[in-house]
Structure 1
Amino acid sequence: MIKGVCIVGLGAIGGWMAAHLSRVEGLRVSALARGDTLAAVRDRGLRLDSGKDSWQAPLRVSSNPVELGPQDLVILAVKGPALVDVAGQVAPLCGPRTRVLTALNGLPWWFTAGLPVPGLALKSVDPDGHIARMLPPERIIGCVVHASCFVQAPGHVRHVQGNGLLIGEAAGGASESVAGLAALLVRAGLGARAVESIQREVFYKLWGNMTTNPVSALTRATTDRILADELVRRFTTDIMREAALIGERVGCPIAQSPEDRHAITRSLGAFKTSMLQDIEAGRAIETAALLEAPRELAQQLGVATPMLDALLGLTRLMDGCRALRSG
């Protein structure tokens, strides 16, 4: 029975989930926050705007996980570059039976745990194994978010579209724990569904995002403009074909064609990717989880990825130059 939930990462997705969970009667919802977000939520609660609906969610917030204490569920909704530092902060929130739900972009450190191919590793997202030691796969429930939100101001989140959450055991298989969590999230007004293989869902979302995200960061273009350019669209298509071969080798086959996925992306209109939003806000970008991790898998599997390599190289170069300018 889940009675206490703590959200770590009170940004767009974490804030959206926290606000919905705060409406569940009898559920204690808290959050680990800092800086302006901590001050704003302490002062007036967390605000969520969704369509014509808007509400303030009172949350217990702290910058010190020890103050919040062990939880039944921790929702980890931070950006990949912050994970190494955050993993240690999650430990005081965990008791013997605490589960950790990860709402992250790209390939997470636990991705290889539930794959049918033994011996694969993702050092690109967890170089020395620190995250896995703090948060082993057996504790993790993976989550794929199909929703778009953004932070309008500290402690103020706007939900744009989508309401889907797919969840599953990081180590694979079904469980009562995942089924119970899905039911709780549905009670909170979120479109949650338990799945047998969360790895397949994680890889499918990566397949759709791993091109437009970095291309938008490189060019500052919205997705409609990216796909409108025939040469750029062909480049993204070639990368998606390389990634689909990686997915097939690790037991995560892609049923769609790149053209099918482009049609879905076009339907979003002039959409700003999360990586473009991070660039504009001066935040770190998730190159490791979106590009380095699938390339690392490809190298271990012997899959050639010249187009993915080119995109990774350009993205790293752009980000390195950005760091030099800001320094």
Structure 2
Amino acid sequence: MLNTATTQQATTRFRNICIFGAGAIGGALAARFAASPALAGSTISAIARGAHLRAIRENGLHLHAPGKTEPLIAKFAATDTVADLPPQDLVIVTLKGHQLSAASADIARLLKRDGRVVMIQNGIPWWYFHGDTASGLEGRQIEALDPGGLIWQRIGPERVIGGVIYQGAQMIEPGHIRLTSTGLLHLGEPSGTLPPALTEIADLFKASGWTIKPTDRIRDELWLKLLGNAALNPISALTRARINEIVDGPLESLVRTIMIETKTVAERLGCHVNSTIDQRLEHTRTLGGAKTSMLQDLEQGRSMEIMPLTRAITQLARMADVPTPTNDMLLLLISQLDQSMAQARADTA
């Protein structure tokens, strides 16, 4: 077992908390949780990989926040092997959607029998139709997001609290993460209830410095963020353009069309996207010259997050009987690029 030192006084029944995937967002969560006096008595740990893991173990995680001259340096248990950790009351998963199936067995092993899991993810999640009474498709599973239903079987959607985060974050080097905004996190159960566990988990995030909004309509928040991600991520990967270059140039009309199609699917499935397309475009412009996560993955030679951000929209569109010709074409193009990059990686291996 790792030597997971604890603080002085427990303030929550969630005594063992693991952040699964300590990249930019996950690392920021782990650092703030570990440094929070309000989590006295809790043991904070994280699953990380490679050079980033080694840096955290040797020197702690350095979190560079806006307006701060010095980083927050947080020490916590970090490992790449779930067997090193005891059973967890709460697992916070920050992996991308296409990484979840392979990790699902390890996530399930970490959880106590009555443990909860917060899934912070962009796009359509594997649990989307669990407890969904608005769409008429309650309980349906989405094969593309969860091949063979492995995540559904291993983790169980009834244990999930969904998360939608707005937080600019970048790993500037192993062990160092920079935040570019104050951040906002929406939390909600798929069933639309607001149970005590959700309130308590939200309070944990608040106590560690996050702005939290619990909601009984988490799917609305998923689609609101997806309006931008569905358009900007694949377009940026295909063109290598930054966000401001996309929305302030001739590609703006393409972005608008993708947003319209995406919003139509959401509304046909019973969701209420509380924003007009013009409002969403204006919000997007505030992101300036940032690179999307898909473009960053492409530049670093990693597989791209196509399933939850693009393919899932086309699949849900078929279920809702909504035509999405622009999203369909975008899916073909970005899938071909991803396959070409995968082949290039294989050729150089």
Normalization by structure 1: what TM-score?
Answer: 0.96
- How far did residue 229 of structure 1 move? 2.1
2:7 maps to what in 1?
Answer: none
2:26 & 2:249 partners in 1: Cα distance? 34
1:266 maps to what in 2?
Answer: 285
| 8 Å Cα contact 2:23-2:48 kept in structure 1 | no
The correspondence for 2:157, drawn from 132, 137, 141, is 137
The runs of at least 4 consecutive aligned structure 1 residues that moved more than 6 Å come to none
1:66 & 1:171 partners in 2: Cα distance? 31
1:64 maps to what in 2?
Answer: 81
Mapping for residues 245-256 of structure 1, pairs under 5 Å? 245-256=264-275
| 8 Å Cα contact 2:185-2:210 kept in structure 1 | yes
1:133 & 1:46 partners in 2: Cα distance? 34
| 8 Å Cα contact 1:114-1:199 kept in structure 2 | no
1:162 & 1:224 partners in 2: Cα distance? 20
Unpaired runs of at least 5, structure 1: none
- How far did residue 216 of structure 1 move? 0.3
- How far did residue 81 of structure 1 move? 2.1
SS of the residue corresponding to residue 190 of structure 1 reads: coil
> 1:11-67, CA deviations, whole angstroms, 9 ceiling, x for partnerless residues?
000001111111223121001222212211111111111021412111111222122
Letter in 1 for 2:49: R
The correspondence for 2:247, drawn from 192, 217, 227, is 227
Q: Which moved more, 1:208-217 or 1:27-36?
A: 27-36
SS of the residue corresponding to residue 100 of structure 1 reads: strand
Structure with the larger strand share:
1
The correspondence for 2:114, drawn from 87, 97, 111, is 97
Normalization by structure 2: what TM-score?
Answer: 0.90
| 8 Å Cα contact 1:99-1:140 kept in structure 2 | yes
The correspondence for 1:314, drawn from 323, 328, 333, is 333
- Coordinate RMSD, CA, aligned: 1.3
> 1:55-86, CA deviations, whole angstroms, 9 ceiling, x for partnerless residues?
21111112221221111110101122211111
1:325 & 1:66 partners in 2: Cα distance? 34
> 1:187-223, CA deviations, whole angstroms, 9 ceiling, x for partnerless residues?
1011112111111111111112110111001001001
2:135 maps to what in 1?
Answer: 117
SS of the residue corresponding to residue 271 of structure 1 reads: coil
| 8 Å Cα contact 2:301-2:341 kept in structure 1 | no
1:28 maps to what in 2?
Answer: 43
1:175 & 1:50 partners in 2: Cα distance? 32
SS of the residue corresponding to residue 315 of structure 2 reads: helix
Q: Aligned residues: percent identity?
A: 35
2:15 & 2:115 partners in 1: Cα distance? 11
Mapping for residues 45-64 of structure 1, pairs under 5 Å? 45-51=60-66, 52=68, 53-64=70-81
The correspondence for 1:7, drawn from 19, 44, 54, is 19
- How far did residue 296 of structure 1 move? 0.5
SS of the residue corresponding to residue 32 of structure 2 reads: helix
| 8 Å Cα contact 1:224-1:266 kept in structure 2 | yes
The correspondence for 2:90, drawn from 62, 68, 73, is 73
| 8 Å Cα contact 2:34-2:75 kept in structure 1 | yes
The correspondence for 1:86, drawn from 103, 122, 132, is 103
2:274 & 2:45 partners in 1: Cα distance? 39
SS of the residue corresponding to residue 171 of structure 1 reads: coil
Structure 2 residue 234 is matched with structure 1 residue 238: no
2:321 & 2:243 partners in 1: Cα distance? 31
Q: How many residues align?
A: 326
Unpaired runs of at least 5, structure 2: 1-12
